[in-house]
Amino acid sequence: MKLSHHFPLPQKLTCVTVLALGAFGLSNVTLQAQAIPISNNSFEAQVNPDSGGAFNAGAFDDVGPWTGWTVITTQNLNASSGEQTAVGFKDLTPPDGSQVMSLMSGASIGQVSGTAWSSLSVGDVLTLTVSVGDRTAGPSWSDQSFFGLTDGLASGSLIDGTLRGNTVANSGEITAPPTGIDSGTFGDMSFNYTIVAADLLRSGNIGVVVAAYGQVGSTGGGTTSVANQAFFDDVRLSVAAIPEPSTYALLVGLLGIVCVIYRRR
C-alpha cells in the first residue's frame, strides 16, 4: 500500500480551524474606544445657588458663562437670553453629579474638543452619548431637541429643529426622553458616526452641540413659551479606531506562520 505523506485529518482540521477562527476574529476587530475629553461634561462647574435647585436661580445671568461651553442660540421669544440656559436639580434626579443643564426651546450650547477631524482615519467610529431626562412637574418637553457633532463650534440659527452652521451629524429629534416625559429621571441616548474621506479634509476640531426646540403636542418650534424645556447631562464623546489594512495583513501572516510551524511538528 502506498503510504501517504499528508498529515492526519485531525491536524489538517486544526490548522483550518485556526485560520477560520482567525478570519472570523479579524472581521470583528476594532480597537477599544478612546474617550475624547469634554470640558464640564456634567455641568457642575457653576453651582446653582438655590438650596432647592430651582432652575431660574441657576440661570446664565446669575452664575456667569458655563465653563467649557458656549451659548450658541437663545431664540426663545419670552425669556431674556440669560434665562434660557440654567443648571439645577428641582423635580428630577441628576444622573451624574448634583445638577443638570436646562435649555428652553430655542436655546443651544456647544463646545470644541481638542481632537481634530483630520487626525482620524476613514472607518473610525465616533460615538456621542448624552443623558436626557425631564422633570416630574412644570415645563412641557421640547420634542424636537437634539445633540450632534460639529466641525468647530456650532453656528447659525435653530431652523426646524436643526442648527445649519458647521453641523456634521446629529441624533435626530428627541420626541421624548428614554425614561419618559415627566419621569424625573434620565437615560442615555447615543448615536454613532463613521468617518468618511471628506471628514479628513475638515479644518476644525470635533465639536459637540446640545439644543432644545419644539413643544410636545404642537408642530411649532416652542419658542413662544418659557415652559418648553429639555434637560441634559453627562455628555460623552469617544472614538473607536478601525485597524489599517496592513494590520489585517500582518495578523493573517502570523496565523499562517502558526499553522506552518504546527504542521512541521
Residue 206 lies in a domain: yes
Predicted local distance difference test score (pLDDT) of residue 62: 66
Burial class, 54, CB count within 10 angstroms (exposed 0-12 / middle 13-18 / buried 19+): middle
Tell whether 148 is covered by a domain: yes
Does residue 7 carry a pLDDT above 50? no
Residue 11 forms part of a structural domain: no
Residue 13 belongs to some domain of the structure? no
Residue 223 resides in a domain:
yes
Q: Is residue 46 part of a domain?
A: yes
pLDDT tens digits, 186-243: 999 999 999 999 999 999 999 999 999 999 888 778 899 999 999 999 999 999 998 7
Residue 260 in any domain: the answer is no
Q: What is the 3-class SS of 222-260, one letter each residue?
A: CCCCCCEEEEEEEEEEEEECCCCHHHHHHHHHHHHHHHH
Residue 70 lies in a domain: yes
Rounded mean pLDDT of 16-36?
Answer: 62
Query: Total domain count for the chain?
Result: 1
pTM for the model: 0.82
CA atoms in the 13 A half-sphere facing the CB of 158: 30
Element (H, E) at 86: strand 85-88
Read off the CATH number of the domain in which 49 is found: 2.60.120.260
Residue 144 has pLDDT above 90, yes or no: yes
What would the pLDDT profile of 96-124 be if each residue is shown by its tens digit?
Answer: 999 999 999 999 999 999 999 999 999 99
Q: Which residues pair with 59 in a beta bridge?
A: 86
Confidence of residue 125 (pLDDT cuts 50, 70, 90): very high
**pLDDT tens digit string along 183-199?**
999 999 999 999 999 99
Percent of the chain with pLDDT over 90: 67
- Domain range holding 155? 34-245
